[in-house]
Structure 1
Amino acid sequence: MGSHGLRQASVPDAEVAAALVDRRVVVLSAVSVCLALVATATAQLLTGLIGLVTNLAFYGRLSTAFVSPAGHGLGARVLLIPSAGALLVGLMARFGSPAIRGHGIPEAMERVLFAQSRIPPRMTVLKPLSAAISIGTGGPFGAEGPIIATGGALGSLVGQVLTVTADERKTLLAAGAVAGMAATFGTPVSAVLLAIELLLFEYRPRSVIPVALASATASAARLALVGGAPVFTMPDLAQPSGAALASYIVLGAIVGVAAVLVTRALYRLEDGFERLPVHWMWWPALGGLAVGAAGYVAPRTLGVGYDNIDDILAGTLVGRAALVFCAFKLFSWIVALASGTSGGTLAPLFTLGGGLGSVLGGLAVAVAPSLGIDVRIAALVGMAAMFAGASRALLASVVFAFEATRQPIGLLPLLGGCTAAFLVSSLLMKNSIMTEKIARRGARVPSEYRPDFLDQVLVADCATRELVTLRFDQTIDSVRAWLGAGGPGTRHTGFPVLDAAGTLIGVVTRTDLFDAARAGDQLVTAAIKRAPVVISEQSTVRGAADRMLVEGVGRLVVVKPEDPTRVVGIITRSDLLGAHRRRLDEASRTDALLSLRKMPSVSRMPGIQRLWSKKPPEPPAPSTRP
């Protein structure tokens, strides 16, 4: 049968290839658990480092206690401290790594999407150090953003040291990131949801299991280190009435508009800094002046400000005081972040949203007390809705607010308010606060996670069943003559070759046949150049497409899963494209029906009856056997 060393290729086990989990997932989970412990320790270290810088800068003492800068007694000297810290960050970015600038999460997203989840190892040191300096000297950011970025950098570093695939490295990056968030807030479920919505861009057991275990491990470690109290304390809430629930949804929509305005203001300020006639290294120092000015007038705007969120949710920071505070916090935060310093978005967005929700709730109580609005629930909804509208992480926002306060009564208002904010934001803004920077660089960020259509269709459903085959004892000249005659089946480009028992021994193409040396008695088996590439009829079309790509072929012979030598069909690249025909047809029919509903009289137009009765497309006509 020729001297090309023909061997029967094994059937690609599509079920194993697409298995939910395998032993590598177990190994990856074990690595993620260890990574979570390291990330938790790193989070505690960063928190202590922020406390050290804060105590040195504002109180002149050596202590790692996590304190607020608001109680300083520096007077006008406070104007210079944030600028000095930001200048150090600018120098670190200029001579260390420009990647330390910005929110943290968008940079991690960019590495996931366009750099195979590879983050430079030096980021594991530079990011937390720059964040500690920035926040410790009064920067109006939360510690969670830099901790998430640092955890992601640790996961990426582990993924670069170990022999893993790009997908597995992405999982490790996400595991490190969620461990950082869970170690900061003790919110394991929302951390996993945040990873799914902003980092993984998928929902697969192979990635979710290691990430979830990392989040649970970090939360357990936090529990052992700092206790299990919720990060934000709220008094027990009363069940809201139907009118109050409707009001919280409206409040969420208003906060969604505010989230859009905040995002646009942030990026317009970034554009303004881009036009400054000075090197970007100096921009953080300029932004630090704004932070110092705001801190001089409103000291509570300095630093992390978790205590501010606590006061807003507890109902002790309300009314005009909350409004003035939020105005200065917004000014301080967006100017500092737009200047390119090292900071985050989560805590500032929670603070602004909570303050706005509290103010709107207070107004509603004053105007319509019969609605039964609770200002504390309004603040909780506003806090989560601001983040949902700005980041588009809907589920993470809802669950975070619940986990951070442990108030189950707030779940229903949170779901309604965050969904309203998400809807308004999606209508008014193309990109989120996390993706706008990436989109401006000409890249597209996935915003919808849908199952792969090809992964839902079996090869058996779209393969050609009527084969045009060649016998092993046919000569090349006879086959050439048959092809030249142009009869039925001669227009195909590939032909399975069977032996006397009907068993597959190879595949030849038209090119193989016409490139073969001319010899009257040479058999077609001499034109076979490689072992046949086959696929089970129970495999998915996605598996078929992947196998074509890996093997570098344009067709696969379809076989029975229990007998890889029994040929039942063939699938080509054209068949793969044809598999989409049903989806496109259904989408077209749905669009047409929606259009018709807008025009009631259109059903009397010519040809419409044919549209209504249109049947699904017939499968391609079978090939004719020679």
Structure 2
Amino acid sequence: IGTGGPFGAEGPIIATGGAFGSLTGQIMRISASERKIILTAGACAGMAAIFGTPLAAVMLAIELLLFEYSPRSIIPVALACTTGAAMHYIFFDTRPVFAMAAMQAPSFIALLTYILLGAMIGLVASLVSKSVYWVDDQFERLPVHWMWWPAIGAVAVGIIGYYAPVTMGVGYGNIINLLKGNLTISTLCILCFLKYLSWVISLGSGTSGGTLAPLFTIGGALGALMGMAILAVFPGSGITLASAALIGMASMFAGASRAILTSIIFALESTGQVQGLVPLLGACTAAYLVSFVFLKGSIMTEKIQRRGVRTPHAYEPDILQAINAGELVKEVPLLVSSENTIGELRSWLSANMGQCRYDFLIVADADMNFMGYLERKKIFGRQVNASVPVIEMLSGNATFVYEEQDAGSVAEIMGATKMDVIAVLSDKDRNRVTGMITSTDIVKAYSDKRSREKKPLRHLSVTRRTLRL
């Protein structure tokens, strides 16, 4: 970046903050999941520190880094972003980093124009994302060692920068000038096309750097150019070039990264334009929709998806957490009396092999109170005397669940204990067995719930009634 690379400074800062968070997590001896949260907190604190946008940094963590929203993750990330933003205010300024003239509330026609503009830029964002990895594929075909790829990319950056110096460097000044709405058409074309060419070649060559600033620059220039064309054809549309540039910036990032909320909030926080909320929401949503139609992944996740790492594209509630264990109990449980002997149990199992296919049997007393489990393989052991009471052969594992527990925790317990069946106890009488749950029951409950959610419902209809006189 210091030599003129067409990247934003946010990339190395986010990476360094994430590395510091990861190192801290390793020193603290915490779990892998908690280490991921600490890593994300460090990365997003870096973003909040450089731009002074703490809320956008939190949304970045949710949409692109953690892919979850829970108290255990949002609290440390939010505190880290608050600290980062405080450092920005202390060492830099409290004003928005990309200050612009006050926006006016858009008219209905202007709002529709901004939404259409966002959809068109969303299409361009899809092409930009595909082109980055197309260039990456072309570099992999070169008959030279990968170590030389960034050097080859730097040659292209240098040639373009020689004829268009404005394309070099982080380009934060270019973003500010775009939001003023007073750049010439030639400058806008340079920022839109030559900046894109320099950035995509350098990024495809493997050079590390931030993508937010280049996408904002390219999107802002494209938005301003489209705004000029719209004003030339429809002068009564009510849009402004500065607003069109802002819409272009946010829509480009929303379409390329699929981080729609991050794009909207970052544009609001970095410019301080509250009146831009509605047009930004409409335009970024349109770009997001177009991106989903034309792209399988995003510019942020395509690389790791190629390595076999699956990233979620939707945030849906855990179905198993919405199902209580009591709902899974549908039949009278198969219980073994603690008063039986091993010989009696052997005889019954030999005569009823089809009714009991589980590795563990639930043992209870005459009052249905839970006693423990008996492993099936121990019942037919040659060294076990047939006269031995069942109560003396119980397994050391006496795990159970209550009716009020969710199916997700039940599945977690069964997986940790490697059991194919688990006893369910009453919520009122805390030791009384009310049923049992098998691994098949959990899978079937999940499948049934998904099927019910996807099944179309009947349309609302009103029956006509005739009044007879």
TM range (shorter): over 0.9
In structure 1, the partner of 2:100 is: 234
Whether 1:298 aligns to 2:164 is yes
Pick one of 241, 248, 255 that aligns with 1:375.
241
Change (3 A) 1:150 1:216: same
1:205 lines up with 2:71 in the alignment: yes
Read off the aligned partner of 1:224 and give its amino acid letter.
I
> Structure 1 residues 286 and 494 mapped into 2: Cα distance closer, same or farther (>3 Å)?
closer
Residue 339 of structure 1 corresponds to: 205
Q: Distance in 2 between matches of 1:412 and 1:518?
A: 75
Unaligned 5+ runs, structure 1: 1-134, 595-626
Question: Structure 2 vs 1, CA of residues 440 and 509 (structure 1 numbering), >3 Å: closer, same or farther?
Answer: same
* CA shift for structure 1 position 412: 0.7
Mean Cα deviation higher: 524-533 or 387-396: 524-533
**Matching residue within 493, 499, 522 for 2:388:** 522
| Rounded Cα–Cα distance in structure 2 between residues aligned with 1:241 and 1:516 | 86
SS in 2 for 1:450: coil
1:267 corresponds to which of 133, 137, 151 = 133
Q: Is the 8 A contact 1:259 1:389 kept in 2?
A: yes
Query: Does the 8 A contact of 2:375 with 2:395 survive in 1?
Result: no
Measure how far apart 1:501 and its partner are: 4.5
Which residue identity lines up with residue 287 of structure 1 in the other structure? Answer: G
Structure 2 counterpart of 1:330: 196
Give the Cα separation in 2 of the matches to 1:313 and 1:390. 21
Residue in structure 1 matched with residue 281 of structure 2 by the alignment? 415
Establish whether residue 143 from structure 1 lines up as the match of residue 14 from structure 2.
no
| Identity within the alignment, % | 48
Partner of 2:226: 360
Which residue of 2 is the match for residue 349 of structure 1?
A: 215
Q: Once the two structures are superposed, what CA deviation does each residue of 1:232-260 show, in whole Å capped at 9, x if it has no partner?
A: 01001111100000000010011111111
2:228 equivalent to 1:387:
no
Return the offset for 1:483.
2.0
1:475 partnered with 2:320: no
Q: Alignment partner for residue 565 of structure 1, among 431, 438, 441? A: 431
SS at match of 2:380: helix
Structure 1 stretch 320-329 or stretch 491-500: which is displaced more? 491-500
- Kindly state the Cα deviation for residue 581 of structure 1 after the two structures are TM-superposed: 3.6
- Per-residue CA deviations over 1:107-142 (Å, capped at 9, x if unaligned) read xxxxxxxxxxxxxxxxxxxxxxxxxxxx00000111
Equivalent in the alignment of 2:463: none
Q: Which amino acid aligns with 1:247?
A: T
In 1, the alpha carbon distance for the partners of 2:438 and 2:125 equals 49
Indicate if the aligned counterparts of 1:496 and 1:557 stay in contact, CA closer than 8 A.
yes
Distance of 1:281 and 1:148 partners within structure 2: 24
Retained in 2: the 8 A contact 1:269–1:334? yes
* Equivalent in the alignment of 1:52: none
What letter corresponds to residue 353 of structure 1 in structure 2? G
Pick aligned residue for 1:288 from 145, 150, 154: 154
Return the alpha-carbon distance in structure 2 between the equivalents of residues 256 and 548 of structure 1. 46
Matches of 2:129 and 2:372, distance apart in 1:
60
Deviation of 1:318 after TM superposition, in Å, equals 4.2
Counterparts of 2:354 and 2:125, CA distance in 1: 64
Bigger Cα displacement from structure 2, 342-351 vs 260-269: 260-269
- Partner of 2:62 in structure 1? 196
**Given the alignment, which residue of 324, 349, 352 partners 1:458?**
324
Matched with 2:466 is: none
Work out the CA distance in 1 between the residues paired with 2:174 and 2:353.
82
Match for residue 319 of structure 1?
185
More deviation in 419-428 or 507-516? Answer: 507-516
Q: How has the CA–CA distance of structure 1 residues 233 and 487 changed in structure 2, closer, same or farther, with 3 Å as cutoff?
A: closer
Q: In structure 1, how many angstroms separate the alpha carbons of the residues matched to 2:56 and 2:29?
A: 30
Where does residue 17 of structure 1 map in the other structure? none
| SS of equivalent residue, structure 1 residue 580 | helix
Moved over 6 A (4+): none
- The Cα offsets for residues 208-265 of structure 1, whole Å up to 9 and x where unpaired, read as 1110111011101211111201100100111110000000001001111111111122
On the 8 A contact 2:324/2:405 being kept in 1, the answer is: yes
The residue type equivalent to 2:405 in the other structure is S
The one-letter code matched in structure 2 to 1:480 is R
Is the 8 Å Cα contact of residues 532 and 557 (structure 1) preserved in structure 2?
no
Could you tell me which residue of structure 1 aligns to residue 312 of structure 2? 446
Paired AA for residue 421 in structure 1 = A
Superposed, which structure 2 residues align to 1:474-513 within 5 Å?
Answer: 474-486=340-352, 489-490=355-356, 494-513=360-379
Q: 1:366 to 1:543 in 2, by over 3 A?
A: same
Worse-matched range after superposition: 312-321 or 371-380: 312-321
Query: Does residue 243 in structure 1 map to residue 109 in structure 2?
Result: yes
The 3-state SS of whatever aligns with 1:565 is coil
Residue 164 of structure 1: SS of its match in structure 2? coil
CA RMSD in angstroms, aligned pairs only: 1.9
CA–CA separation in structure 1 for the residues paired with 2:394 and 2:386: 17
In structure 1, what is the Cα distance between the partners aligned to 2:356 and 2:173? Answer: 78
Structure 2 gaps of 5+ residues are: 460-469
Partner Cα separation in structure 1 for residue 269 and residue 111 of structure 2: 20
- Aligned counterparts of 2:297 and 2:16: Cα–Cα separation in 1: 25
Specify the code of the residue in structure 2 equivalent to 1:225.
Answer: F
- Comparing 492-501 and 478-487, the one that deviates more: 492-501
Q: Which of 26, 37, 51 matches 1:171?
A: 37
Q: 1:271-326: per-residue Cα shift (whole Å, max 9, x none)? A: 11111111111111111111111111111111111000000011122433212332
What residue is the counterpart of 1:54 in the other structure?
Answer: none
Q: How much does 1:475 deviate? A: 1.1
Residues 496 and 204 of structure 1, relative CA distance in 2, 3 Å threshold? same
Please give the alpha-carbon distance, in whole angstroms, between the structure 2 residues aligned to 1:184 and 1:312: 20
Higher mean displacement: 210-219 or 487-496: 487-496
Query: Alpha-carbon deviation of 1:593?
Result: 7.9
Calculate the TM-score normalised by the size of structure 2.
Answer: 0.94
Partner Cα separation in structure 1 for residue 361 and residue 173 of structure 2: 73
| Structure 1 residue matching 2:96: 3-state secondary structure | coil
The letter for the 1-side match of 2:80 is A
Residues 380-434 of structure 1: per-residue CA shift (max 9 Å, x gap): 0000000000000000000000000000111111111111111111101111111
Amino acid at match of 1:312: L
Moved more, 522-531 or 369-378: 522-531
Structure 1 CA distance, aligned partners of 2:62 and 2:358? 44
Offset, 1:510: 3.1
Q: CA deviation at 1:490?
A: 4.9
Count residues with an aligned counterpart: 459
Partner of 2:301: 435
Q: Answer whether contact 2:53 2:270 (CA < 8 A) is retained.
A: yes
> In the alignment, is the contact (CA less than 8 A) between 2:360 and 2:419 conserved in 1?
no
Q: Distance in 1 between matches of 2:411 and 2:432?
A: 21
TM-score (norm 1): 0.71
- The amino acid that maps onto 1:218 is G
Measured after TM superposition, the shift of residue 516 of structure 1 is: 6.0
1:330 and 1:519 map into 2 onto residues whose CA distance is 80
CA shift digits 1:478-526 (9 cap, x unpaired): 1221222229955665432223444222112433322263534211123
Q: Which one is further off, 401-410 or 328-337?
A: 328-337
How far 1:441 moved relative to its partner? 2.2
CA distance in 2: counterparts of 1:338 and 1:533, whole angstroms: 53
Code of the residue aligned with 1:168 in structure 2: it is E
1:208 partner letter? I
